[in-house]
Amino acid sequence: MPNRKRLSPDESRAAAIAAARDLLREQGVAAITLKAVGGRVGRTHANLLHHFGSVAGLHRALADDIAHSVADSIVAAIGRMRRGQGRLKDVIEGMFDAFRTEKVGELIAWVAMTGQREALDPLVDAIAEVVRDISAPGDERPLDRATLGLVLLAVGDSLAGEEVARACGLPATAARDIAVQQVIAVLAGRPVIG
């Protein structure tokens, strides 16, 4: 057996999460098994069990990693918008791109369908952190409602947005356009449907 590079526990976890993320992007969440991840990083099934406890633990760590990177990109986009270097539409499109690229909808659906709902905690925490970060003191706009609608649209879009838009005879960007309109309406205190 070839000599494997000795990694610290943190390096080993990070390599496994990166491999799981690549598998998610390339093949979907069903491909994220301890055996597949171990094969990518040159580690044994037992080694990954030591770090994550189970494949559910690996899914939770992956959800945590994705949630924080997506949340960081959203907060950064909001910061650019506040500095006049972007628009609300750019923030929303960036969020939709991140959700689609990272297959957030598929990961959430898999976690929910397999009864691992606690693995969604990192995503829930990251969303709550985004709402706190974007809320300026004294801002009375319903940012919580705008964020709820936006996240749910982005999750659905990342899961089957292109296919549903095509079935409706709309461009693949239709959900993004609807999200922009809805967020603007919610923040302005106007009814979204009316």
> Is 191 a residue whose pLDDT tops 70?
no
Q: What is the mean pLDDT of residues 3-21?
A: 82
Whether 166 has a pLDDT exceeding 60, the answer reads yes
Determine what percent of the chain is predicted with pLDDT higher than 70. 88
Domain spans in the chain, listed from the N-terminal domain onward: 1-53, 66-187
The gap between the terminal CA atoms of the chain, to the nearest Å, is 67
CA-wise closest residue to 29 among 97, 118, 111, 100: 111
Q: Provide the whole-model pTM.
A: 0.75
| CATH pick for 1-53 out of 1.20.1070, 1.10.10, 3.30.2020, 1.20.140 | 1.10.10
Tell me the residue type at 67: A
Is residue 187 within 8 Å of residue 141, measured between CB atoms?
A: yes
Question: pLDDT digits over 53-84, tens only?
Answer: 888 888 888 888 888 888 888 878 878 877 88
Q: Is 129 exposed, middle or buried (0-12, 13-18, 19+ CB in 10 A)?
A: middle
